[in-house]
Amino acid sequence: MLVYSAVGQTDSVASELTVEAATLREQLNHHNYRYYALDDPVITDSEYDRLLRRLQDIEARFPALKTADSPTQRVGSAPLSAFATVAHSTPMLSLDNAFNDAELRDFDQRLRNRLHPNGQSEADIEYVCEPKLDGIAVSLLYEDGILVQAATRGDGYSGENITANIRTIAAVPLRLQGEDFPATVEVRGEVYMPREGFERLNQRARESGEKLFVNPRNAAAGSLRQLDSTVTASRPLEMCVYGLRHAAAGQLNSDEPGDGRMHPSLTLTNHLDAMMLLKRWGFLINKLMVAVSGIEACIDYYQRLAGLRDNLPYDIDGIVYKVNSFTLQDQLGFVARAPRWAIARKFPAQEATTTLLAVEFQVGRTGAITPVARLQPVFVGGVTVSNATLHNQDEIARLDIRVGDQVVVRRAGDVIPQIVRIVSDGAARSKQTIVFPTRCPECESDVVRAPGEAVVRCSGGLYCPAQRKEAIKHFASRRAMDIDGLGDKIVEQLVDAGLVKDPADLYALTVEQVAGIDRMGEKSAQNLVDALARSRRTTLPRFLYALGIREVGEVTAAALARHFRSIDRLLAAGQQDFVDTGGIKGVGEVTASALVDRLQSQQSLELKPGQLQGDDLVNWLVSLDIRGIRAEVAEAIAARYPSYEELKNITAEELASGTKSIVEGVGPVVAQHVVTFFHQPHNLEVLDKLLNRARIHWSEEGPTTPGEQPLFGQTWVLTGTLSTMTRDEARRRLERLGAKVAGSVSVRTTCVVAGESAGSKLVRARALGVRILDEAGFGELLEQYASL
Ligand code: IVH
């Protein structure tokens, strides 16, 4: 009895799951169809993922429930040792080419002559025009609606069996939608990699120093050639289909009686109908496919597509024109290995070979230095190209490019022309390798390459002509020196007129000079000069922020000001004054990330400052029972980070390298930017002009030690509108008193200042029980410390 019921129960669970799995498969296939074939999804991506995960769960528990058409099978399967060869049921043909309008008209004339040898008809032929996708031709075989085989074109007669790889492509239905398909269906189309996915893939490869793909076509080919289909699954491939009938000739339009499984509705008479049927079955077909009448309309289509080409999300290398009617196709037949009823009109190539004449280095407006290849002009992608980007230092090394090399230039879409590879080889090549400059080509300042970054930058931010306009705009901006009336347009005019070369020059401007520039009246010129005079009095954090040092935003500027308290002390600081890189003995990456994981999962540990330190901290670390953290290591950690507060927000990298910020929020990278900036003689010159000639100043005194700062260690949040001062002003006053001003309310917030019409931050503060001050209360507080 017991035995029976147990079995019965398992059976019923299994059968319920069988039903659920089938339903999920059906739903997922349907949503895939909505997404790819119809381009009209009805659920979100995350909802789709949820259904997929549920199906994966079920199949993991009951592997017997896996089916060939399960969407879970798209993730790739066990690697093959080699691809098997498969013979194509009918050869996969190629196409004749036409390179201009005349050749296209000839093609049409040939067809008309052939169809009407005695010139008895002037009727236009109906053609289907479709983009010629630049990818890999693939043939798909479905039996009873299930994808059973996919093969490459190979030599046209037999290709490689790449079924496992094709299964991973989401745009390929694993099971046909609907019911009206014959027992065997063969579909042909193109597998390609959309441009965006290609750029992403290469960007990742570039970052990790791997080999790049030269173009989306190669990337698609390489992705299909993987013996390990999990690799293919990770590549952004799509497949668009363009052929049904001739691949499956004798199947769909079989005259032979007796094929009882042939569906009666499959009486197709033309190519376009066949494509619509494929769409209904769940395939992706090209949205730009149209039927037109006569060859002149085909030529118009070419013009239209040539205009769209650059902005399409995928590469196309031409247009394919096909006679729409199957009856006419049959009358025309084939020559050699191409159909008579179709032709490809090619676009100008997107790649061409030319000579590298030189490499120059350009400095961008933010200081990034980009190598630019000067080329023997060459016609590619429809325009003459004489420059191409070489991206960065790594790219030069990767290509091992030398002056005089023969290079392949690619221009696809509106992407900047690139050099994809070198064709020169061996002894014939010059020895002239490309050396990346160590000084800015515009201003001679040192260049810096931050760890982990590919970009090399000029460090002469205040002085460099290339960065001049951006530097001055930033300097004048509201949160920096807040120079009223000095907008971007005026900065540009002042620089273009040669009146201002660096931020310090602003302060030497006269009313007459300013009034001399475009659309500036006497009055607004006077206003600007007054605003400049007013801006002389500022604060150290604003001034530091205004200098535009790389990666020094407002928060970092405030931290630097709090820590160093004077510009002279900051100028004298070296890397070691910002970060301590001593290392902690016994803590490697594994231990570090184990500890960081634990610290993060205990983020809720509510402790008062100083509650967990010294021996308590050591004991607590040991009690976490992390492999690798025994007493000795725990002591070393506590020696470097003496309290829980200092430890709790640390990253695994910091912990493993033992780096500790001395200045809050400043790591080795920012430190390097600051130190290099203040080591450039030209920057120092401008700084000197700013402080001594333009007389920019701030009160250096004020409270200096934490003890004297009444709000030291507190975090305040400002919200709503204050009637007596701007929010910036309020922030400055709070910072003078030692507080940190944060943008959002949390349990760590000390107090919220709520002005007029405060919103969600006030609500949140109430909910968390955070102290709240209104404007009057805030005023009293400031009053109380007015002397500081
Ligand atoms: S029809 C018998 N249509 O171009 C006709 N081909 O040389 C066979 N291609 O390798 C092809 N887009 O992979 C056709 N819309 C399209 C196409 C297309 C790209 C490729 C195809 C073949 C080559 C023809």
Predicted structure pTM score: 0.60
> Which residues are within 8 A (CB) of 249 and not within 5 positions of it... i.e. 6 or more apart?
90
Q: What is the pLDDT of residues 387-430, one digit of tens each?
A: 999 989 988 988 889 999 999 999 876 678 999 888 887 777 88
pLDDT level of residue 38 (50, 70, 90 thresholds): confident
Cα separation, 663 vs 407, whole angstroms: 49
> Which DSSP symbol is given to 510?
-
**Active-site option among 132, 279, 473, 740:** 132
Cα separation, 74 vs 70, whole angstroms: 8
CB 166 within 8 A of CB 225: no
Q: Residue range 441-458: average pLDDT?
A: 90
Please determine, for residue 705, whether its predicted confidence score (pLDDT) is greater than 60. no
CB 300 within 8 A of CB 294: no
* Nearest protein CA to atom 17 of ligand 1, as residue: 132
Closest CA to 492 of 522, 508, 471, 510: 471
Q: Ligand 1 centre and the CA of 132: distance in Å?
A: 6
CA dist list (Å): 741 to 66, 460, 541, 713, 751: 56, 31, 13, 11, 10
Closest CA to 231 of 386, 393, 449, 79: 79
Within 10 A of 320 (CB to CB), how many other CB atoms are there?
20
Greater confidence (261 vs 677) lies with 677
Q: What is the pLDDT of residues 74-90, one digit of tens each?
A: 877 777 778 999 999 88
Does 132 qualify as catalytic in the annotation?
yes
Please determine, for residue 256, whether its predicted confidence score (pLDDT) is greater than 60. no
Task: Give residue 250's pLDDT.
Answer: 45
pLDDT level of residue 252 (50, 70, 90 thresholds): very low
Q: Ligand 1 centre and the CA of 95: distance in Å?
A: 7
* Helices first, then strands: H and E counts in the chain: 28, 26
Q: Ligand 1 centre and the CA of 347: distance in Å?
A: 14
Task: Give residue 586's pLDDT.
Answer: 78
The tally of CA atoms less than 13 A away on the side-chain side of residue 107 is 28
Structure tokens at 443: 């201003």
Task: Give residue 266's pLDDT.
Answer: 63
Structure tokens at 534: 């007013």
Query: Which of 242, 289, 324 to mutate to test ligand 1, by most ligand atoms within 8 A of the CB atom?
Result: 242
In 199-341 the beta strands, taken as DSSP E runs, fall at 238-243, 290-293, 316-323, 334-335, 338-339
Task: Give residue 541's pLDDT.
Answer: 93
Atom of ligand 1 nearest to the CA of 137: 13
Query: Which of 88, 90, 95 to mutate to test ligand 1, by most ligand atoms within 8 A of the CB atom?
Result: 95
Please state the three-class secondary structure of 391-419 as a single string. CCHHHHHHHCCECCCEEEEECCCCCCCEE
Query: Which of 92, 272, 320, 323 to mutate to test ligand 1, by most ligand atoms within 8 A of the CB atom?
Result: 320
CA dist list (Å): 536 to 439, 500, 532, 539: 32, 17, 7, 10
Atom of ligand 1 nearest to the CA of 130: 15
Q: Ligand 1 centre and the CA of 82: distance in Å?
A: 26
Task: Give residue 706's pLDDT.
Answer: 58
Q: Ligand 1 centre and the CA of 248: distance in Å?
A: 16
By the 10 Å C-beta count (0-12 exposed, 13-18 middle, 19+ buried), 184 is classed as middle
- Residue 130: strand, helix, or coil: strand
Mean pLDDT for the chain overall: 87
pLDDT level of residue 254 (50, 70, 90 thresholds): very low
Q: Residue range 31-46: average pLDDT?
A: 81
Q: Residue range 315-328: average pLDDT?
A: 95
* Nearest protein CA to atom 18 of ligand 1, as residue: 132
Greater confidence (162 vs 648) lies with 162
* Nearest protein CA to atom 6 of ligand 1, as residue: 132
Atom of ligand 1 nearest to the CA of 136: 13
Q: Residue range 57-80: average pLDDT?
A: 83
Q: What is the pLDDT of residues 494-540, one digit of tens each?
A: 999 999 999 999 999 999 999 988 778 899 999 999 999 999 999 99
CB 749 within 8 A of CB 742: yes
Q: What is the pLDDT of residues 474-500, one digit of tens each?
A: 999 999 999 999 999 999 999 999 999
Ligand 1 pocket: which residues have CB below 6 Å?
93-95, 130, 132-133, 137, 153, 190, 242-243, 320, 339, 342, 344
Per-position DSSP letters for 525-581, written without gaps between them: HHHHHHHHHHHTB--HHHHHHHTT-TT--HHHHHHHHHHH-SHHHHHH--GGGTEEE
pLDDT level of residue 10 (50, 70, 90 thresholds): low
Cα separation, 266 vs 185, whole angstroms: 11
* Nearest protein CA to atom 3 of ligand 1, as residue: 242
Please determine, for residue 750, whether its predicted confidence score (pLDDT) is greater than 80. yes
Cα separation, 416 vs 386, whole angstroms: 11
Q: Ligand 1 centre and the CA of 251: distance in Å?
A: 21
CB 614 within 8 A of CB 642: yes
Q: What is the pLDDT of residues 569-582, one digit of tens each?
A: 999 999 989 988 77
Q: What is the pLDDT of residues 203-216, one digit of tens each?
A: 888 877 788 888 89
**Segment among 40-49, 104-113, 159-168 with least mean pLDDT:** 40-49
Q: Ligand 1 centre and the CA of 224: distance in Å?
A: 18
Task: Give residue 419's pLDDT.
Answer: 92
Q: Which residue has the tokens 């149209």?
A: 290
* Nearest protein CA to atom 23 of ligand 1, as residue: 94
* Nearest protein CA to atom 9 of ligand 1, as residue: 132
> Which DSSP symbol is given to 89?
S
Cα separation, 315 vs 309, whole angstroms: 8
